[in-house]
Chains A and B, each alone.
Chain A
């Protein structure tokens, strides 16, 4: 009983302590993130560092754990978060997930209509013959992602999309096993990747842009990052 009272007291004091912080304290805590990911995590014109604002918290948290656990490799990221606790990383993920900020207009890339059409077809229909599921099956019809851990695909630069699909193909990027995206990326060829990235990067982000609740009864593949 005494320990329960102590716990309640500690929680009450704890939340008071947090409430006493200025409202921008969390934004200042993550200043190290926004140095590359842009103001409030909305990305920069740099064209590589991805937007993190508004991505599902589960997805962002998984990525932080992936960097810390060596499943993703980008030394400056791993270095920064290496000694932060799970609880703090989750709080950081939730902070960026909660930011609903407008998106800039899509990139104009000058890609050929044939390439864009190939990309559109793969994203919306997939390719049954090659066992490639449509991206929209998991990432949502509007491609804004599905809660709690599947990210949206729009509002990202082509270079970043190419980089990530390429990293999965080359087994440089991993996710919790079973790594469904590694399986799918392994079935894409270089021209597929180019087409998908070009089409996705040239689409406007719909309003609302938030990830939708999980609507699919069963994902086409088992994913360790989004267990069902």
Chain B
């Protein structure tokens, strides 16, 4: 008996020892080979600027009203706030002392210049797929920016997330270095799309579901997820009920990504930012490649429609009244909208999807699609947070979700109250 206890104890100690050893390995950074002098070409710099846009680096690495890429924007997470770093070439506070090798290691491995582990709010779980060539080009571009003296702000993370050991454990569980391997059975266009979507584009950072540790369960999955802290739902790209585009024309996908709107769909909220800052600047071939890849994502089977009668007649009547007064002018009595100005609500997945977060946010906060070359003067949705109470918002959404052939579950006042308190991160 005693010997059995001893064996169990020894085994536990051994496991603990191995785990600690694994963490120590994770914490230790390999020495970088002494950097060969980096002499970027003009072409490389231009390419790097383009790729930095494809990765939307500036969106996080620029604080509102501050110089581009000088960092300081707080990225709120369930574990605290992570502050984006200064990517300008200032020696003391930026990446002036970094080599191309350091930069590559940051993207590929999630380590800073001195080897310490970076928080995955910087999406190196995706960027690990970026090629060395692209990494060098982005680095070359960043080196051409005006150097800005802007010391990095310390992250404001709660215990134990503020600790490198915890981060090492997270990485052991949820991160592996990876390289992009082209799928030989697929076209070059598809592979280019896969590389952009999974890698630089880091689409799964929002469109992937996260577990309680903030890790996207399946790093490359795009099955929809609530954007941490932002209170928006990034719809599934693998669902015909949400934002799957398997049945779309490639041209329509390209138009949505490149201009922010099409007759059937438009982008608002966080996706408007992605189109404005990143996607509208991508080349037509790259947008087509992304579209081709997104079209090929296996689609989940269509779910059973719930019966519209689940909505109470009194709520529907009240919702109809609110609709007539506030919505019908633009979206039409028949919910068909006005092509080019206001989207149809009949058959619009943005209002019928299971998650009610976005429809509620849109009614409360309104929103414009971005100004783009293809849609420079967009029409917008007015905010109704000031004029409609929770019950009215719930009623009108319930009405919209149950009219003109739509058959989605009712929205409750409780849901509206929850999202009314949602944060606006500006």
Contact = CB atoms under 8 A, between A and B. Distances in A.
A35 B376 CA distance: 22
Given A83-B370, A84-B370, A32 B383 contact: yes
B330 interface: yes
B367 interface: yes
Contacts of A30: 380
Given A31-B380, A36-B383, A82 B426 contact: yes
A34 interface: yes
B234 interface: no
A81 B369 CA distance: 10
7 contacts: A29-B378, A76-B385, A79-B424, A82-B273, A83-B272, A83-B368, A91-B377
A88 B366 contact: no
B386 interface: yes
Interface of A: 28-32, 34-36, 46, 69-71, 73, 75-76, 78-85, 87-88, 91
Given A28-B330, A70-B64, A71-B65, A87 B424 contact: no
A81 B367 CA distance: 8
Contacts of B277: 83
Contacts of B387: 35
B374 interface: no
B365 interface: yes
Interface in B274-291: 275-277
Given A29-B379, A82-B276, 13 more contacts: A32-B366, A35-B384, A36-B386, A70-B64, A71-B65, A73-B426, A75-B424, A76-B385, A78-B426, A80-B367, A82-B426, A83-B368, A84-B370
Interface residues of B, number: 32
A222 B365 CA distance: 37
B411 to A, nearest CB: 20
A206 to B, nearest CB: 30
Contacts of A88: 371, 376-378
Contacts of B378: 29, 84, 88
A31 B382 CA distance: 6
Contacts of A91: 377
Nearest to A44: B386
Contacts of B272: 82-83
A31 B330 contact: yes
Interface of B is mostly: loop
Interface in B373-415: 376-387
Nearest to A65: B65
Contacts of B341: 28
Contacts of B64: 69-70, 78
Contacts of A35: 366, 382-384, 386-387
Nearest to B373: A85
Contact of A29 (B367, B370, B380, B384): B380
A76 B273 contact: no
A28 B273 CA distance: 23
Nearest to A69: B65
Q: Which 6 A-B pairs have the closest CB atoms?
A: A70-B65, A35-B382, A70-B64, A83-B370, A85-B371, A83-B276
Contacts of B426: 73, 75, 78-79, 82
A42 to B, nearest CB: 16
B139 to A, nearest CB: 28
B179 to A, nearest CB: 34
Interface of B: 63-66, 272-273, 275-277, 330, 341, 365-371, 376-387, 424, 426
Contacts of B65: 69-71
Contact of B365 (A34, A79, A81): A79
B99 to A, nearest CB: 33
Contact of A80 (B276, B330, B371, B383): B383
A76 B420 CA distance: 12
Contacts of B383: 32, 35-36, 76, 80
Contacts of A79: 365, 367, 424, 426
A29 B365 CA distance: 16
A81 B376 contact: no
B355 to A, nearest CB: 20
Contacts of A83: 272-273, 275-277, 368-371
Nearest to B341: A28
A1 to B, nearest CB: 24
B341 to A, nearest CB: 7
Residue among A30, A78, A83, A87 with most chain B CB within 10 A: A83
Contact of B368 (A70, A73, A81): A81
A152 B314 CA distance: 48
B121 to A, nearest CB: 20
Contacts of B275: 83
B382 A34 contact: yes
B291 to A, nearest CB: 21
Contacts of A76: 365, 383, 385, 424
B366 A80 contact: yes
B368 A84 contact: yes
Contacts of B385: 76
A32 B380 contact: yes
Contacts of B371: 83-85, 87-88
B154 to A, nearest CB: 21
A113 B49 CA distance: 63
A82 B366 CA distance: 13
Nearest to A14: B376
Contacts of A28: 330, 341, 379
Nearest to A49: B386
A204 to B, nearest CB: 28
A84 to B, nearest CB: 5
A80 B341 CA distance: 17
Given A80-B368, A83-B273, A83-B368, A32 B381 contact: yes
